[in-house]
Amino acid sequence: MAAAPSKKSAEKITQYADMFSAMGAEARLRIMQLLLSAHPQGLVVGEIQEELGIPNSTLSHHLDKLKAEDLVRVERDSTFLHYTANAEALQELLQFLYAECCTRNQAVKPDRIIRICK
């Protein structure tokens, strides 16, 4: 019988679930994809809006949701808001998945992940 997860482990799983939920909307996943393609420089709101064709008020809502889960970072540059993907948070999320699917029970062979990403 497996041991119950620690409180810290349970909190991390909740955090990861919230992160996945934040990316669960098509528009937010498209925003993340776009910001990752512009990494590390990132993009200003107008560039994101132009590229994705999302109305400003809707885009603001999506960016706020991603920011609340620490998936994106924002810096004010004069009158512009400059957004970047939080690569460290995404790395932690991917490490969590990798540990579960590829290390413990080998549900997915590690070399298959590398081939998929190339």
Q: Which pLDDT does position 19 carry in this prediction? A: 95
**Could you give the number of structural domains in the chain?**
1
> Does some domain include residue 78?
yes
Q: What is the pTM of this model?
A: 0.80
Which among 15, 11, 10 is positioned nearest to 90, based on CA atoms? 15
Give residue 51's Cα distance to chain centre: 19
Residues (pLDDT < 70) of the chain are 1-5, 100-118
Alpha carbons 113 and 108: distance in angstroms, whole number: 8
- State the residue range of the domain holding 63: 7-86
Q: Which pLDDT does position 61 carry in this prediction? A: 96
CATH number, domain of 68, equals 1.10.10.10
